[in-house]
Amino acid sequence: MSERSWSFSKAFRNLFSGPELITEETWDDLESALLTADFGPEVAESILDQLRDDVERHRVSEVVELRRMLRDAIEDRLAAFDPTLRLSERPAVILVVGVNGVGKTTTIGKLANYLRTFDKRIVVGAADTFRAAAVEQLATWAERAGVDIVRPQQPGQDPASVAFQTIERAVQEGHDIAIIDTAGRLQTKGGLMDELAKVRRVIEKLAPVSEVLLVLDATTGQNGLAQADAFIEHAGVTGLVLTKLDGSAKGGFVLAVQQKTGLPIKLVGQGEGIADLTGFTPHVFAQQLVG
């Protein structure tokens, strides 16, 4: 398997080419590796403190052992959040939100395709009526994934009415899951939040909203988190999707983002292809991160 951009392998290659026994330099190198990977100072410090304690308590002296302990520490922290998508309602409604360009539409295409492999009947709704190109982009993904789509009947149609029509169709035609694409950009943040609240209110006349997924671009790392606040505060977010992890050196962001928001990562995007979306498995992720 090719090395992932966010893997620690390189940092560990340096550590492993040095002395096999843990020295002060090992701790310095580990701290730099954690900070470079965007764990953020607080999480990095807390992991280092925990490892120092454990190393002392168990009288560990070898770097190989430290690596195993790091992997376990990261896995434990990642696993404190439940990554399961809750889709038991019929139809299960998934609202996908986030600022523009983070990968909402792409994620919906990949997610629809993934859920289809479980024989689910899916409809997507193009409630991003702000840009005509966004509707076309979603239509292309829907076709590739082999799922139905509800489009606006005229340009600029109220997003809430497109969302309503999508759920209406899901109910009438017996779709298992409806996924709603929303706009990422409006003149003001307040306007965007009001619009999302309205979309939600209108959907809930027909069906409960099962998941509100906030999409975050991993390449922006902790800097991108500021934009997330408003969504978390106002949109009732139930889970996070991290996209573009394939181009990111910020593997530590995965843990930092869960700790900072208190929300679980439910899906991870690692490429532009239709198959480049997976669920989030702490064990696998910690393995790939630490090596």
Ligand X SMILES: Nc1nc2c(ncn2[C@@H]2O[C@H](COP(=O)(O)OP(=O)(O)OP(=O)(O)O)[C@@H](O)[C@H]2O)c(=O)[nH]1
Binding-site residue ranges for GTP: 98-105, 181-185, 243-246
Distance CA 63, CA 286 (A): 17
The reply to whether 270 sits near ligand X by the rule CB under 6 A is: yes
Alpha-helical runs (H) found in 18-131: 24-36, 41-57, 63-78, 104-116
Binding flag, residue 101, ligand X (CB under 6 A)? yes
30 by Cβ neighbours in 10 Å (0-12 / 13-18 / 19+) ranks as: buried
- Min dist. Cβ of residue 132 to ligand X (A): 11
Minimum distance, C-beta of residue 205 to ligand X, in the bound complex (Å)? 25
Other C-beta atoms lying within 10 Å of the C-beta of residue 118: 9
Minimal distance, residue 181 CB to ligand X, in Å:
7
- Round to whole Å and give the CA distance between 231 and 162: 21
Min separation Cβ 24 and ligand X, Å: 38
Q: Does 100 bind ligand X (CB under 6 A)?
A: yes
Q: Which stretch binds ligand X (CB under 6 A): 4-12, 98-106, 171-179, 253-261?
A: 98-106
By CB under 6 A, what part of segment 134-163 binds ligand X? 134, 137
Single out the segment in contact with ligand X by CB under 6 A; choices: 7-15, 156-164, 223-231, 264-272.
264-272
The Cα 228–Cα 214 span in angstroms is 8
- Which is nearest to 104 in space by CA: 215, 186, 202? 215
Binding letters toward ligand X, positions 43-72, x by CB under 6 A: ------------------------------
Does 103 participate in binding ligand X (rule CB under 6 A)? yes
251 binds ligand X (CB under 6 A): no
Q: Is 211 left (phi over 0), alpha (psi -120 to 50) or beta?
A: beta
